């Protein structure tokens, strides 16, 4: 055993003895002990302090913001917020929430895993309104069921895309505009109790319907405090939690990062894919991550070299952790990376520890650690009596940090509390556990039918309810197999169709989230029952096992499919799903979205090409998967990344942004470069203060760093994009990067403005040629007036408030025009700022501008300036009929900067 653990042996024995000492009423105490035992004991950090959980989250955020106002707080790859921007957004949105949602009522959060989710969660806490996070990947019917059951009066969302079926009386709050700073003075935030309801997390319920679990800020802060004090988290850390935001683990990770001044990166794993996650960890230098074992096995299956070298803490939880999981993790991370195993639930804290590298392997799974301070506990048998030391039983916890209760019909139904001390609440976990000889907690099993799949807790009763709701179903039962699989059995009505099973599968897909969809669905004449009338689970398990053994053999590939690709897909299918046959649909064979990511990565390794995740779904058959791969090989340039890998050309658009005309231009350039568009801060970010060319450049630099961590940089900017490209190049050069090409598409630095007659003629021509509609010009006029008079923030709020029904499209167009006008204003402000000469060559593609200097203001901006005349006007130079003439000129200028190696990489030879 390692010296650090030999030194703590006495502490562990004392801890075990204290835990076994029964307090009054049969409870065992967990004494205070060093949470960093076996961890980063020498790493400096700011200890949370004894009063940390007594202070509201918003007050903690204010203190952190005062320490790190300009430090990056959150980034999702598109949007980024510094701590000062985050604080202003939270404060502003909190007042909007308080004005709409009555005190004591909850507000929903329907957000992807982006910067806006933490903003919404923190703003709800600041307003003293409990939030109800809703999973964006759940079927709409389930989401609306939760909205109705929780009696939600408002939902915080992103944009104006209301979910289908949302009741009209539910107010929609667009966080991207509602979090914009107010023109008037902001009132002081209200006082919020840390013991009031703060968040309601819905899980699968044993009644067959989702169950809302209510936690206070105190309980959340206690989790954060124990996490921070154990891992010595500080402002130097970079977080990448690989869990959904609508989970207790997601809440803990977000708060732990933002209440310590760390940087938080957020990502949708199912959207970006495993390789993108690996690249993100490496490029951002992630130091702390949380993931469930199922994702660990998938993400690290190919043991990528050096990708996870920056990790100093890898926290694993949500499911049982096997020793093979630990072995895989150890191979992938550095020898100094700490592996923390944690056990908790939505309702309560539990245990955690740092697993020593030389800890002996005992049992099928890894111990989940030492019970955490702040609780008293009991391990009891079926009759509620304490079990003998070393024996297994149900873990019952008593603490002021467990759940407050359950959210029913818009209010809290409290859980049982200790009659001698009402502040202490009692929660029976349902987990069967035992304390081993070291005082470590081991999970033995589960009381009842509840299971966890990919870290998400589910109750089979919810699946049964949906199946029984089908008119074609007479009866239905779901069981959990010994392998932790969810299997369903359904009895059809007499008049059911031949497509009974397929119809039920489709019903489940539309009603339930992926973890609640059965691995196998069996049709039978009657549900076997015991003499007592209970379901005969043992017989059903035997029937399922027998059916698996007699499953039909895999069908040979269709004549039209590639035999080699079919073998590759079939091998990946069988490997990931651990089956001998590849038949049916992916989800019917036991696959889910996480396993699908792993399968796609296996196929990519076999064919030596990256594939687009958009081409793969959980409802695919083997043949459909084969067709997707064959199609990708034949024509998808993204899937030919290793064979056809041209240099990246970053395209910086004008004030309107990356629209259809720029997308068509980028596509036409695809044979000589991999054109990657740059996104500027959106309207909400502009109104929040990211309203300069410098802010646009900062956002662009981060996107470039993620897309191309190393190598030569090439930039091409149009109009406003030319100015942004110049600032980006200056920042990249200062950081030691090489800028091989900086192209400017007719950006004038002379600041000339069109006359009213020129604007009238140009507008008339655009309307006459159908390039712009009259109603859009009205929207543009309104946006211009708002910007000129300084009422842009008020206009955005008005548009957000009335953006519904037939006014929704008009609101969207007006906000787009407002965004463009504000970017244009930033450009003219930038023109007044002195610029230094960049030590590179600039290439100006100049349209005909009578009586204007050749360089149109760029002389002196570069060590050398090449001016290439192009046809068309500033507004249509990259569209037909001018594109056919101008594109070869642009391509030639870009290609002249390629090295011989880059030329070979961009050679495109379709396979024959």
The highest-confidence range among 46-55, 223-232, 591-600, 843-852, by mean pLDDT, is 223-232
Element housing 349 (H / E): none
Query: Per-residue pLDDT tens for 49-66?
Result: 889 999 999 999 999 999
Residues 741 and 867 in one domain: yes
Residues 728 and 874 in one domain: yes
* Domain contains 889: yes
Residues 807 and 838 in one domain: no
d(CA 643, CA 710): 19
What mean pLDDT is predicted for residues 667-684? 87
Q: How confident is the model at residue 638 (pLDDT cuts 50, 70, 90)?
A: very low
What mean pLDDT is predicted for residues 394-410? 95
* Domain contains 282: no
Location of structure tokens 């067709």: 627
Query: Per-residue pLDDT tens for 601-615?
Result: 888 888 877 787 767
Residues 577 and 630 in one domain: yes
Of 504 and 218, the one with more pLDDT: 218
**Final residue of a structural domain among 815, 840, 861:** 815
Predicted confidence at residue 482, as pLDDT, reads: 76
> Does the pLDDT of residue 266 top 60, yes or no?
yes
d(CA 347, CA 427): 8
Residues 484 and 543 in one domain: yes
Query: Per-residue pLDDT tens for 532-572?
Result: 777 888 888 888 888 776 655 444 444 444 678 888 998 88
d(CA 540, CA 538): 5
d(CA 599, CA 595): 6
Q: Are 432 and 446 in contact (CB under 8 A)?
A: yes
Residues 745 and 839 in one domain: yes
Lowest mean pLDDT among 404-413, 454-463, 704-713, 833-842: 454-463
Q: What percent of the chain has pLDDT over 90?
A: 41
Residues 616 and 765 in one domain: no
What mean pLDDT is predicted for residues 279-300? 90
Q: How far apart are the first and last CA of the chain?
A: 61
Residues 708 and 799 in one domain: no
* Domain contains 470: yes
Element housing 672 (H / E): none
Identify the three-state secondary structure at position 809.
Answer: helix
Predicted confidence at residue 116, as pLDDT, reads: 93
Cα three-residue angle 41-47-51, rounded to 5 degrees: 145
Residues 514 and 582 in one domain: no
Give me the residues paired with residue 457 across strands: 452
* Domain contains 662: yes
Q: What CATH number corresponds to the domain at position 506?
A: 3.30.300.30
What are the backbone dihedrals phi and psi of residue 911, each rounded to the nearest 5 degrees, phi first? -70, 145
Residues 748 and 771 in one domain: no
Closest by CA to 655, choosing from 874, 456, 872, 888, is 874
Q: How confident is the model at residue 841 (pLDDT cuts 50, 70, 90)?
A: very high
d(CA 474, CA 439): 50
> Does the pLDDT of residue 644 top 50, yes or no?
yes
Query: Per-residue pLDDT tens for 129-151?
Result: 999 999 888 888 888 999 999 99
Predicted confidence at residue 804, as pLDDT, reads: 55
What the block records as the tokens of 525 is: 């004449």
pTM of the prediction? 0.66
* Domain contains 302: no
Lowest mean pLDDT among 10-19, 285-294, 659-668: 10-19
How far CA 23 is from CA of 28, 376, 382, in Å, comes to 5, 8, 21
Per DSSP (E only), the strands in 33-174 are 72-75, 80-82, 107-110, 131-134, 154-157, 171-174
Q: How many domains does the chain have?
A: 4
**Final residue of a structural domain among 636, 657, 690:** 636
Predicted confidence at residue 762, as pLDDT, reads: 55
Residues 747 and 871 in one domain: yes
Of 777 and 290, the one with more pLDDT: 290
> Does the pLDDT of residue 464 top 90, yes or no?
no
Q: How confident is the model at residue 770 (pLDDT cuts 50, 70, 90)?
A: very low
d(CA 902, CA 644): 11
What mean pLDDT is predicted for residues 438-443? 90
Predicted confidence at residue 21, as pLDDT, reads: 45
Instruction: Report H helices in 711-773.
Output: 720-734, 756-768
* Domain contains 342: no
> Does the pLDDT of residue 416 top 80, yes or no?
yes
Residues 464 and 586 in one domain: no
Is the C-alpha dihedral spanning 274, 280, 282, 283 positive or negative? positive
* Domain contains 90: no
> Does the pLDDT of residue 805 top 60, yes or no?
no
Per DSSP (E only), the strands in 695-806 are 713-718, 739-745
Q: What CATH number corresponds to the domain at position 596?
A: 1.10.1200.10
Instruction: State which residues form the domain around 678.
Output: 648-752+832-906
> Does the pLDDT of residue 583 top 90, yes or no?
no
Q: What CATH number corresponds to the domain at position 661?
A: 3.40.50.1820
Query: Per-residue pLDDT tens for 333-358?
Result: 999 999 999 999 999 999 999 999 99
* Domain contains 350: no
Q: Indicate the average pLDDT of the chain.
A: 84
Q: Are 810 and 800 in contact (CB under 8 A)?
A: no
Predicted confidence at residue 627, as pLDDT, reads: 86
> Does the pLDDT of residue 703 top 80, yes or no?
yes
**Final residue of a structural domain among 609, 636, 663:** 636
Q: Which long-range contacts (CB under 8 A, 24 or more apart) does 870-874 make?
A: 870/746, 870/845, 870/846, 871/847, 872/847, 873/847, 874/719, 874/746, 874/847
């Amino acid at each position: 055993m390692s010296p650090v653990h030999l030194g703590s042996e006495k502490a562990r024995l004392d801890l075990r003895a204290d835990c076994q000492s029964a307090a009054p009423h049969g409870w065992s105490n967990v004494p205070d002990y060093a949470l960093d035992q076996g961890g980063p004991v020498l790493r400096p950090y700011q200890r949370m302090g004894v009063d940390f959980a007594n202070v509201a989250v918003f007050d903690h955020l204010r203190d952190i913001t005062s320490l790190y106002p300009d430090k990056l707080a959150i980034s999702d790859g598109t949007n980024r917020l510094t701590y000062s921007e985050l604080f202003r957004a939270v404060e502003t949105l909190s007042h909007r929430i308080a004005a709409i949602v009555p005190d004591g009522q909850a507000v929903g959060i329907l957000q992807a895993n982006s910067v806006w989710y933490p903003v919404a969660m923190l703003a709800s806490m600041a307003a003293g309104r409990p939030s109800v996070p809703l999973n964006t990947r759940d079927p709409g019917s389930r989401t609306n069921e939760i909205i109705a059951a929780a009696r939600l009066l408002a939902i915080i969302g992103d944009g104006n895309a209301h979910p289908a079926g949302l009741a009209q009386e539910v107010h929609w709050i667009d966080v991207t505009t509602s979090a914009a700073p107010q023109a008037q003075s902001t009132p002081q935030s209200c006082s919020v109790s840390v013991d009031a309801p703060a968040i309601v997390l819905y899980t699968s319920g044993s009644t067959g319907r989702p169950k809302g679990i209510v936690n206070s800020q105190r309980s959340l802060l206690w989790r954060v405090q124990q996490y921070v004090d154990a891992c010595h988290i500080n402002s130097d850390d970079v977080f990448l939690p690989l869990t959904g935001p609508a989970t207790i683990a997601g809440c803990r990770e977000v708060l732990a990062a933002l209440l310590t001044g760390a940087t938080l990166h957020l990502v949708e794993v199912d959207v970006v894919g495993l390789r993108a996650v690996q690249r993100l960890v490496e490029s951002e230098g992630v130091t702390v991550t949380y993931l469930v074992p199922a994702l660990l096995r998938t993400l690290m299956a190919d043991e990528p070299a050096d990708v996870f070298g920056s990790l100093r803490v890898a926290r694993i939880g949500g499911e049982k952790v096997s020793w093979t999981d630990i072995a895989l993790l150890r191979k992938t991370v550095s020898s100094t990376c700490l592996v923390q195993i944690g056990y908790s639930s939505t309702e309560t804290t539990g245990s955690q520890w740092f697993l020593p590298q030389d800890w002996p392997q005992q049992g099928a799974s890894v111990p989940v650690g030492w019970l955490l301070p702040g609780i008293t506990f009991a391990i009891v048998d079926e009759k509620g009596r304490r079990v003998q030391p070393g024996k297994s039983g149900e873990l019952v916890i008593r603490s002021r940090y467990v759940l407050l209760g359950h959210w029913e019909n818009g209010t809290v139904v409290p859980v049982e509390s200790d009659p001698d001390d009402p502040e202490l609440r009692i929660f029976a976990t349902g987990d069967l556990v035992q304390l081993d000889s070291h005082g470590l907690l081991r999970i033995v099993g589960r009381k009842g039918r509840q299971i966890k799949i990919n870290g998400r807790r589910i109750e089979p009763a919810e699946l049964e309810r949906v199946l029984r709701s089908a008119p074609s179903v007479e009866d239905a039962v779901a069981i959990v197999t010994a392998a932790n699989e969810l299997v369903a059995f359904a009895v059809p009505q007499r008049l059911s169709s031949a497509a009974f099973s397929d119809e039920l599968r489709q019903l489940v897909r539309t009603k339930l989230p992926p973890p609640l969809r059965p691995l196998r669905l069996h049709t039978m004449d009657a549900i076997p029952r015991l003499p007592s009338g209970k379901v005969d689970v043992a017989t059903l398990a035997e029937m399922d096992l027998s059916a698996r053994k007699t499953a039909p053999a895999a069908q040979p590939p269709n004549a039209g499919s590639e035999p080699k690709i079919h073998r590759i897909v079939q091998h990946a299918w069988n490997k990931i799903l651990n089956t001998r046959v590849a038949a049916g649909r992916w989800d019917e064979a036991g696959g889910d979205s996480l396993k699908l990511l792993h399968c796609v990565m296996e196929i990519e390794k076999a064919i030596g090409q990256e594939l687009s995740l958009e081409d793969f779904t959980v409802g695919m058959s083997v043949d459909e998967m084969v067709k997707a791969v064959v199609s990708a090989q034949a024509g998808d340039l993204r899937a030919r990344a290793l064979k056809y890998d041209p240099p990246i050309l970053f395209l910086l658009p004008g004030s309107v942004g990356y629209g259809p005309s720029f997308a068509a231009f980028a596509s036409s350039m695809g044979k000589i470069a991999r054109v990657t568009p740059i996104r500027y801060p959106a309207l909400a970010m502009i109104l929040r203060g990211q309203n300069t060319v410098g802010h646009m450049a900062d956002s662009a630099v981060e996107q470039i760093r993620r897309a191309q961590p190393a190598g030569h940089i090439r930039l091409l900017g149009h109009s406003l994009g030319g100015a942004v490209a110049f600032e980006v190049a200056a920042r990249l050069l200062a950081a030691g990067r090489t800028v091989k090409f900086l192209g400017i598409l007719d950006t004038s630095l002379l600041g000339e403005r069109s006359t009213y007659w020129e604007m009238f003629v140009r507008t008339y021509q655009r309307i006459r040629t159908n390039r712009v509609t009259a109603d859009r010009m009205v929207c543009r006029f309104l946006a211009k007036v708002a910007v000129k008079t300084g009422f842009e923030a008020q206009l955005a709020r008005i548009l957000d408030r009335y953006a519904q029904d037939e006014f929704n499209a008009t609101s969207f167009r007006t906000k787009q025009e407002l965004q463009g006008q504000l970017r244009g204003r930033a450009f003219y402000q930038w023109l007044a700022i002195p610029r230094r000469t960049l030590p590179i060559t600039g290439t100006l593609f100049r349209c005909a501008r009578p009586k204007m200097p050749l360089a149109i203001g760029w002389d002196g901006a570069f060590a050398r300036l090449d001016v290439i005349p192009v046809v068309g006007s500033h507004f249509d130079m990259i569209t037909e009929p001018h594109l056919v003439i101008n594109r070869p000129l642009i391509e030639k200028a870009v290609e002249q900067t390629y090295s011989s190696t880059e030329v070979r990489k961009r050679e495109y030879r379709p396979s024959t």
